[in-house]
Copies of this chain bind each other. A is one copy, B any other.
Amino acid sequence: MTKLINSIDRSLRSRAEQVIPGGMWGHMSTRYLGDAYPQFFARSEGCRLWDVDGNEYVDLMCSWGPIVLGHHHPAVEDAARRQRERGDSMNGPGDVLVELAELMVDTVPHADWVMFQKNGTDATTACVTLARAGTGRRKVLVARGSYHGAVPWCTPSLAGVTTEDRAHLIHFDYNDVQSLEEAVDQAGSDLAAIIVTAFRHDIGRDQEMPTAGFAQRARQLCDLQGAALIVDDVRAGFRIDLGGSWEPLGVRPDLSAWSKAIANGHPLAAVTGSDRFREAATKVYVTGSFWCGAVAMAAAVATIKTLRDTQAIAHMRDMGQRLRTGMEALASRHDLKLRQTGPAQMPMVLFEGDPSFEKAALFCASALRNGAYFHPKHNMFLSAAHAPADVDRILAAAEAGFAAVAREAAAG
Tell me, yes or no, whether A168 is within 8 Å of chain B by CB.
yes
Residue of B nearest to A269 (CB): B289
Which B residues are in CB contact (< 8 Å) with A160? 128-134, 280, 283-284
Q: Please state if A281 and B119 are interface contacts (CB–CB under 8 Å).
A: no
Q: A21 contacts B113, CB within 8 Å? A: yes
Residues from chain B with a CB closer than 8 A to the CB of A289 are 63-66, 119-120, 234, 259-260, 267
Contact of B287 with A40 in the complex, beta carbons under 8 Å: no
Q: Which residues of B contact A24 (CB under 8 A)?
A: 92-93
Q: Does A25 contact B (CB under 8 A)?
A: yes
In the complex, chain B residues whose CB is within 8 Å of the CB of A6: none
A41 to chain B, nearest CB (A): 4
Residues of B within 8 A of A75 (CB): none
Q: A290 touching B267 by the CB < 8 A rule?
A: yes
Q: What is the CA–CA distance of A162 and B114 in the complex, to the nearest angstrom?
A: 24
Copies, count:
2
The yes or no answer to A161 lying at the interface (CB within 8 A) is yes
A91:B25 contact, CB within 8 angstroms:
no
Interface string of A149-176 (1 = CB under 8 A from B): 0111101110111101101100000000
Known A19-B105, A168-B162: A287·B42 in contact at CB below 8 Å:
no
In the bound complex, CA of A102 to CA of B118 (Å): 25
Q: Identify the closest chain B residue to A133 (Cβ).
A: B160
Chain B residues with Cβ below 8 Å from A121 are: 288
- CB contact under 8 A between A66 and B290, given known A119-B122, A160-B129: yes
Q: How far is the CA of A163 from the CA of B323 in the complex (A)?
A: 50
Query: Are A21 and B287 in contact, CB atoms less than 8 angstroms apart?
Result: no
- Can you name 27 A-B residue pairings with CB atoms under 8 Å? A8-B95, A12-B95, A12-B98, A16-B97, A16-B98, A18-B113, A19-B98, A19-B101, A24-B92, A24-B93, A26-B287, A28-B291, A44-B88, A44-B90, A63-B90, A64-B289, A67-B89, A88-B266, A119-B119, A119-B122, A129-B152, A130-B160, A134-B160, A155-B285, A159-B280, A165-B165, A234-B289
